[in-house]
Amino acid sequence: MSMLLFLVTKEIRHNVLTFRFAVIYVLFFVLTIVSMVMLSANYQRQWENYVRARASERESLGAMEGVRDLRMQGINVQKQPSKLSLFALGLDKEMSRTVSVSAQSGVEVGAGQYPNPISALFATPDLAYVVNVVISLLALLLTFDAISGENETGTLRLMLANAVPRDVILLGKWLGGYIALVVPFLLAVGCGILLSLTLTDLSLDADSWMRMGALLLVSLLYISAFFALGVLVSTFNHRSSTALMVSLFLWVLMVLTIPNVVPILARQIAGIPSPGMLAGQRRAIENEQWERVRRLMANNPSEEERRRIFDEMRETLTKEWKRTQDEYENRINEQIELAQVLSRASPSASFVYAATNLAGTGMSDFQSLSDYTKQYYAQFGDVVSELAREEDDRASQTSADQTVYAAALDVDKLPEFVPEKSSFARSLQHSMLDICLLGMFNIAFFLVGYIKFMRYDVCA
């Protein structure tokens, strides 16, 4: 135990006293703090814009005269911005879009609430991005020569000559380097949270603190995986220069290539119709039904028969278009599931999936919002129909003067757009597969490195 402690202390001291260490940590320390403070300020602006948008929409609804205006113009609704988007932005931009709901046009998703063309060109450096890209690279840069570097300087041969067990050497290397990286990382995150709470109006409830704690634990697990990978690469090489090149290749493959190429591959395997093809299918369905109506109308049916024909046409159009949309959504879901399965060959993808789910900005939350929007549309249609019946009843009880019953719309009767927020337990459940995969990556990388180091030839 004393020998392990000595090796851990030696490794920490060796890393901390190098110029490489100083440059690396100043870089990611500044990046972490600045990113968190800027994104928390951005969240505050998003919240203020959200409140103003709701107030403006309420005023617009209050100015409507009757249900006819509501049917035609509809209502614009938005989702509240996510507090933890400063830790993992994820799909928050995609979910923070204005949704127009009307009986006339259905559900239409508009532009984002907070459009910024520059953000489309460059990735937002939230905490998940810093961990996924920056710190994973730093982990490899600190460990690529953990064994090969010691072998080149002759230190490894000296330790083995003094009967230091190989497993103790390997574990000391891993623990010392890992502690040297994660302690400054945790300090940087702590400073970022403190400054965010001090300089902005951001406040975190108990659920947010639990999510943040789980997200940090997942981050530590992810960093550990790349540390183990760096040690593994070092045990397979006797020259540090070769180990560095192999480490950079694996980092590019796991962090940049697989997560970005797999969605393209999934689109090729599970192709979906383009929006143009969907529009063509819709026009074909409409043309077919109108042609049927024209044939039936050629027989000069009665007024009652005409109403029945048009009602049947509308019902058929609704069913056929719903069937087409359902098929389209099923194909999209198949493509998404395939992309997720294939991309999990990289620990980077597993980390992103777990981090965004825990932050409430992941795929599960996106799907929940989509399902809720459909439910809201159905609820909105029911309320509009009820208001229309009430208006017709008032009209039947008054004179023909339309101004008597075309009163201002009662806004309080409209349903509130309040998507259900996933509980921490549910978010954790959705993240468990990726958390387990990160644990398996750790075990696999360390075990292979351990087996290789047990056979490492110090004389080569």
> Is 63 a member of any domain?
yes
In this structure, the number of other CB atoms found within 10 A of the CB of residue 231 comes to 28
Residue at 459 is within a domain: no
pLDDT at 404: 45
Task: Please check the confidence at residue 297 and state whether its pLDDT lies above 70.
Answer: yes
In this predicted structure, what is the pLDDT of residue 400?
A: 47
Sorting pLDDT into bands at 50, 70 and 90, what band is 29?
Answer: confident
In this predicted structure, what is the pLDDT of residue 214? Answer: 94
Number of domain units in the chain? 1
Give the tens place of pLDDT for each residue, 104-158. Answer: 666 776 655 555 555 555 666 788 888 999 899 989 988 888 888 888 888 888 8
pLDDT at 104: 61
Q: Is 198 inside any structural domain?
A: yes
- Please indicate, yes or no, if residue 460 is contained in any of the structural domains: no
pLDDT digits (tens, 9 = 90+) for 2-15: 788 888 888 888 77
Looking at residue 122, what is its pLDDT? 62
What's the confidence (pLDDT) of residue 448?
Answer: 94
Cα atoms in the Cβ-side hemisphere of radius 13 Å centred on 212: 20
Tokens matching residue 320: 């056929």
Domain-located, residue 313: yes
Is 346 within the bounds of a domain?
yes
- Residue 111, pLDDT score: 55
What mean pLDDT comes out for the span 410-438? Answer: 87
How close are the terminal C-alpha atoms of the chain, in Å? 30
Nearest to 422 by CA among 375, 351, 363: 363
Range of the domain at 270: 2-454
Residue 49 has pLDDT above 60, yes or no: yes
On average, the pLDDT of the chain sits at 82
Token pair belonging to 400: 């023909």
**pLDDT reported for residue 395:** 66
CB 220: neighbour CB atoms within 10 A? 17
Q: What's the rounded Cα separation, in Å, for the pair 9 and 147?
A: 16
The whole-number average pLDDT for the span 312-316 is 78
User: What pLDDT score does 204 carry?
Assistant: 83
Neighbours of 183 (CB within 10 A): 12
The answer to whether residue 376 sits within a structural domain is: yes
Least confident of 119-123, 279-283, 323-327: 119-123
Neighbour-count burial of 457, counting CB atoms closer than 10 A to its CB (0-12 exposed, 13-18 middle, 19+ buried): exposed
Any domain includes 421:
yes
Cβ-contact 409, 65 below 8 angstroms: yes
Give the separation between CA 244 and CA 154, rounded to whole angstroms.
Answer: 19
Give the pLDDT band (50/70/90) at residue 354.
very high
CA–CA separation, 11 and 297 (whole Å): 88
**Beta carbons within 8 Å of 75's beta carbon, 6+ residues apart:** 57, 61, 100, 101, 102, 380, 414
